[in-house]
Amino acid sequence: AQRVTQPEKLLSVFKGAPVELKCNYSYSGSPELFWYVQYSRQRLQLLLRHISRESIKGFTADLNKGETSFHLKKPFAQEEDSAMYYCALHFNKFYFGSGTKLNVKP
């Protein structure tokens, strides 16, 4: 069963525009959710985790249990935000979504 869904393969926005990367999950318990990022020619790395309720590089993500979503948001996109973003759920093991490529245009 698909645990994590990222409906957009590619998202293009202009610099300074708001950005929202969508993530929906299927899990009936209390999920632990994460966002990972992979910049060009770099390795996959943790961006933020739900449990920390933190803002990293201006990004935030709110868990909405009713909509089973964990969308990643940033009010003003920067060119350096261009990367591949993966949403992940941990339930005994990590389940990753298929990823969304964010392209921030100048």
Partner 1 sequence: ETGVTQSPTHLIKTRGQQVTLRCSSQSGHNTVSWYQQALGQGPQFIFQYYREEENGRGNFPPRFSGLQFPNYSSELNVNALELDDSALYLCASSFDPTEYNEQFFGPGTRLTVL
Q: Any contact of residue 44 with partner 1 (CB under 8 A)?
A: yes
Residues sharing a CB contact under 8 Å with residue 24, sequence separation 6 or more, in sequence order: 4, 5, 7, 67, 68, 69, 70
**Among 51, 53, 55, 65, which residue sits at the site for partner 1 (rule: CB under 8 A)?**
51
Which of 17-25, 55-63, 74-82, 83-91 is the region at the interface with partner 1 (rule: CB under 8 A)? 83-91
Q: Any contact of residue 93 with partner 1 (CB under 8 A)?
A: yes
Q: How far is the CB of 80 from partner 1 (least distance, A)?
A: 20
